[in-house]
């Protein structure tokens, strides 16, 4: 009987995966025809397929299978994003990236927390916990958007890089506030800064070391004996970078992103692949990243709890409106404008204020808070999903239009 139950479960999962791939392929074609970022269409269709509507896809948010898809999918999309960046551009904008990924998260959390305190009528510490949960931007959304909408290089690379680096800061701030909210201790700025430095340092180290080793094995003139297996090496190294950094209690997502940067800029380190092998690797990464986007956003949409969202809808929409129109623009102007070296134009800053979607990582944090029994966890989860839906459906769909109006599109 147990074996039979396991087989039936496997068939159920296989069917769900088949449906996601089939529907996702149609949605990808549809998104191209409509000139929309595919993540928007995936999210909407996921909502229609989930238990709240058709009930075709029903994979629980707290299941091991869902966590596997979220973690690996986010890692691979981050790797893809890192590989598309260029070190020359990053050298010009690194101050802005660091400021946005640290101070920017704190500013966003604080302003959103104040808005939640007044608009939702919850204790201030709960409001601040909500602000911290949704403060970080989402690389899993932003990377594919910038893959499809060609924006001025330094703007796109700043937004993508910052979205990868701010996840660690968002998680640290969230759990620091959670400790106070649950009476487990007081916030210590010194301890938080040490923890952040540790996570960032070990994440950079793990990603850099594995990236260099992978580049050596697939592109070195003498030692690149795995050149034909470059796609498999990249797959192993993505997993290794995440788990290696996580084992060091560092940011696995940061490690994967740095690994991608090293692979994408391997020529700067003296490594050069044969043209055919390079094209094969790029095609493999592009296809795998597309599949991961399908799974992540269709599953994310299928897990939206409509009843819970409806309960906090009006207050949640009001908080997210402040979050989108005040908190994140304030963070951009306060963190990027002082960077005189970069000489950001007003149009570039305005665009960066708008392209700051919320997605997988805040959704995962909200799920963790639910599992840990955090105060008002259901309210936080509800507003987080409202933030995910509003930012992706409104901001991602208008990225191309806004870039065109501001003259930031590149042919």
CB 78 within 8 A of CB 256: yes
Per-residue confidence (pLDDT) for residue 181, from 0 to 100: 81
Q: Measure the CA–CA gap between 41 and 45, rounded to whole angstroms.
A: 6
**Bridge partner list, 409:** 151
Burial class of residue 303 in the structure, from the number of CB atoms within 10 Å of its CB (0-12 exposed, 13-18 middle, 19+ buried): buried
Domain ranges, residue 366: 62-405
Query: Phi/psi of residue 172, each to 5°?
Result: -65, -45
Q: List C-alpha distances in Å: 241 to 169, 328, 407.
A: 19, 30, 38
Q: Dump pLDDT digits (tens) for 100-118.
A: 988 999 999 999 999 999 9
Q: Is residue 155 part of a domain?
A: yes
Q: Is residue 137 part of a domain?
A: yes
Instruction: Return per-residue pLDDT of the chain as tens, 411 residues.
Output: 456 778 888 888 888 899 999 999 999 899 888 877 888 888 889 889 988 787 888 888 778 888 888 888 888 887 887 887 778 878 888 889 889 988 999 999 999 999 999 999 899 999 999 999 999 888 777 878 887 888 888 888 888 888 877 877 787 788 788 878 877 655 566 776 777 777 778 888 888 888 888 888 888 777 778 888 888 888 888 898 889 888 887 778 788 888 888 888 888 877 877 788 888 888 888 888 889 888 988 888 888 778 878 888 899 999 999 999 999 999 999 999 888 888 899 999 999 999 888 877 787 778 778 767 788 888 888 898 899 889 988 998 899 999 999 998 876
Which string of b and e fits 2-14 if b means at least 16 CB within 10 Å? Answer: eeeeeeeeeeeee
Q: Measure the CA–CA gap between 79 and 72, rounded to whole angstroms.
A: 10
HSE, side-chain direction, 13 A CA sphere, residue 88: 4
Encoding tokens for residue 148?
Answer: 């499809």
Q: Is residue 366 part of a domain?
A: yes
Q: Is residue 244 part of a domain?
A: yes
State pTM to two decimals. Answer: 0.81
Q: Which residues contact 160 (CB under 8 A, 6 or more apart)?
A: 81, 84, 85, 139, 142, 143, 146
Per-residue confidence (pLDDT) for residue 323, from 0 to 100: 95
Helices 275-302, 38-49: crossing angle, 10 deg rounding: 40
Task: Give the Cβ contact number of residue 330 at 10 Å.
Answer: 16
Q: Is residue 212 part of a domain?
A: yes
Q: Measure the CA–CA gap between 155 and 159, rounded to whole angstroms.
A: 6
Mean pLDDT of the chain: 85
C-alpha of 195 from chain center: 21
CB 132 within 8 A of CB 109: yes
Q: Dump pLDDT digits (tens) for 59-84.
A: 887 788 888 888 888 888 878 878 87
Helices (H), 139-270: 139-148, 153-181, 189-219, 230-247, 252-264
CATH code of residue 141: 1.20.1530.20
Q: Dump pLDDT digits (tens) for 375-406.
A: 888 888 889 889 988 998 899 889 999 999 99
Q: Is residue 84 part of a domain?
A: yes
Q: Is residue 175 part of a domain?
A: yes
Give the number of domains in the chain: 1
Q: Is residue 24 part of a domain?
A: no
């Amino acid at each position: 009987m147990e074996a039979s139950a396991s087989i039936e479960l496997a068939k159920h999962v296989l069917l769900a995966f088949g449906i996601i791939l089939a529907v996702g392929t149609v949605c990808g074609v549809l998104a191209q025809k409509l000139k929309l970022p595919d993540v928007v269409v995936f999210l909407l269709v996921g909502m229609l397929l989930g238990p709240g509507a058709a009930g075709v896809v029903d994979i629980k948010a707290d299941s091991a299978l869902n966590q596997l898809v979220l973690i690996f999918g986010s890692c691979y999309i981050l790797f893809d994003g890192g590989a598309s960046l260029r070190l020359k551009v990053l050298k010009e904008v690194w101050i802005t990236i660091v400021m946005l990924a640290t101070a920017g998260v704190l500013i966003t959390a604080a302003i959103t927390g104040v808005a939640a305190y007044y608009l939702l009528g919850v204790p201030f510490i709960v409001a601040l916990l909500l602000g911290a949960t949704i403060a970080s931007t989402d690389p899993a959304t932003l990377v594919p958007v910038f893959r499809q909408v060609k924006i001025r290089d330094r703007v796109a690379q700043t937004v993508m890089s910052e979205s990868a680096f701010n996840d660690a800061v968002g998680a640290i701030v969230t759990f620091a506030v959670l400790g106070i909210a649950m009476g487990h201790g007081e916030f210590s700025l010194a301890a938080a800064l040490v923890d952040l430095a540790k996570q960032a340092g070990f994440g950079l180290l793990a990603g850099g070391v594995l990236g260099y080793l992978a580049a050596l094995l697939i592109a070195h003139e003498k030692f690149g004996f795995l050149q034909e297996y470059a796609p498999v090496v990249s797959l192993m190294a993505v997993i290794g970078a995440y788990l290696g950094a996580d084992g060091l209690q560092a940011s696995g997502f940061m490690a994967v992103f740095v690994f991608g940067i090293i692979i994408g800029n391997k020529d700067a380190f003296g490594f050069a692949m044969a043209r055919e092998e390079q094209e094969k690797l790029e095609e493999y990464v592009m296809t795998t990243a597309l599949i991961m986007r399908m799974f992540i956003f269709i599953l994310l949409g299928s897990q939206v709890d409509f009843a819970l969202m409806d309960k906090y809808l009006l207050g949640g929409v009001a908080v997210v409106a402040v979050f989108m129109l005040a908190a994140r623009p304030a963070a951009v102007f306060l963190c990027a404008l002082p960077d005189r070296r970069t000489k950001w134009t007003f149009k570039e800053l305005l665009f960066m204020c708008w392209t700051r979607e919320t997605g997988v990582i805040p959704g995962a944090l909200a799920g963790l808070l639910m599992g840990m029994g955090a105060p008002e966890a259901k309210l936080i989860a509800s507003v987080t999903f409202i933030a995910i839906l509003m930012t992706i459906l409104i901001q991602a769909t208008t990225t191309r239009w806004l870039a065109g109006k501001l003259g930031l599109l590149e042919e």
